[in-house]
Chains A and B, each alone.
Chain A
Amino acid sequence: MICPRCGEENLEGIDRCSNCMEPLRDRDVPQPTRGLQRLIMEEPVSAISSSAPVVVAPHATVAEAVRRMREGRIGCVLVVENDLLVGVFTERDVLMKFAGTDKNLDESKVTDVMTRSPEKVETTKTLRFALNKMSVGGFRHIPITDQGRLTGIVTAKDALKFIAREALYKGEAQESED
């Protein structure tokens, strides 16, 4: 720890500068506590979520799910039964299970093709936590729940837009003011 007052090089964790007695205790704390780094580590995931979840019932047809996906401009519909999230149906499922086949979308039920017990995050978890889940699992959409009850959805696009806004555009506005 270099003393900010006299420039003396002190031992890590020392309370006062050994040369000028400047108090150092409050300064010698790791510092990802500023700006965007702090936001990513502390901002609850619900704060960056930008779109309302698109919800269907398990007995809905795949045709309806695809239509809702289109209308909602989102790549994932959530399957909810009795207020509980039971599955997700995504663009990837459309690609893998329906595209290029002659399956009848009006006769297929979402419940038969959805992914059950999807990954989700609690509404109070941080953005960092959600980023990790997306990265590890390769998901682009993660439902947000509050004690099991569905409250929202966070997408990779939300995260990208958040980073673009906070790290690129905001910084540039400050730079041009300087």
Chain B
Amino acid sequence: MVEIVRGLNGEKQMSVREALRQTKIRELKPSSPACVDRTATLAEAIASMRGTSTGCVMVCEGQRVTGILTERDLVDKIVGEPVAFSSAVEEFMTRNPKTLTADASLDEAIRLMDQGDYRHLPVVDGAGGIEGIISIQHIIGFLAELFPTEVLNLPPRQNQYIDSREGG
């Protein structure tokens, strides 16, 4: 985890942008993904998705990711529609999702998520084999921890004042 250095003693201050560039995806500890084979049914994919905390399932051919099915697909295309749960998951998944490697930087992940409106990105090894998954929650967790608790105890600014006297 990148330490934010504050400019108290003339040290270089690291910006949020720098922190995002220097943090690797592996430091966010990608979750282990739920995977089903590309021949799986929708019912199998949903059962597998329920076992995860990320709310998505990878559809794989061997180790290679060929598609992804997320909670959003359930809301948009499946639940409340006349869909047989014995249908093939391939009919509903998003094909060839954007992926990145564990050595990619966090700013790359944010860019991909922002531009594609994704909230999950599969993490793959050099050969394209699935290693993990990072979700928007990993990024929120990183941002929430970016500022150590000490910054909550900063002295007040001059434009912040208390209307009434302190004390009982």
Q: Which residues of A contact B (CB under 8 A)?
A: 1-2, 4, 28-33, 35-37, 40-41, 63, 66-67, 69-70, 75, 91-92, 94-96, 98-100, 105, 128, 131-132, 134-136, 138, 140, 156-157, 159-161, 163-164, 166-168, 171
Contacts and interface: CB of A to CB of B under 8 A. Distances in A.
Contacts of B154: 30, 32
A78 B34 CA distance: 29
B144 A29 contact: no
B75 interface: yes
B114 interface: yes
Contact of A41 (B76, B78, B140, B151): B151
Interface string B128-168: 00000000110111011111000100110100000000000
A96 B113 CA distance: 25
Chain B: interface secondary structure? helix
Interface stretch (B22-30, B47-55, B93-101): B47-55
Contacts of B55: 91-92, 95
B71 A167 contact: no
Contacts of A166: 16
A100 B106 CA distance: 35
A126 B159 CA distance: 17
B7 interface: yes
Contacts of B16: 35-37, 40, 163, 166-167
A105 to B, nearest CB: 5
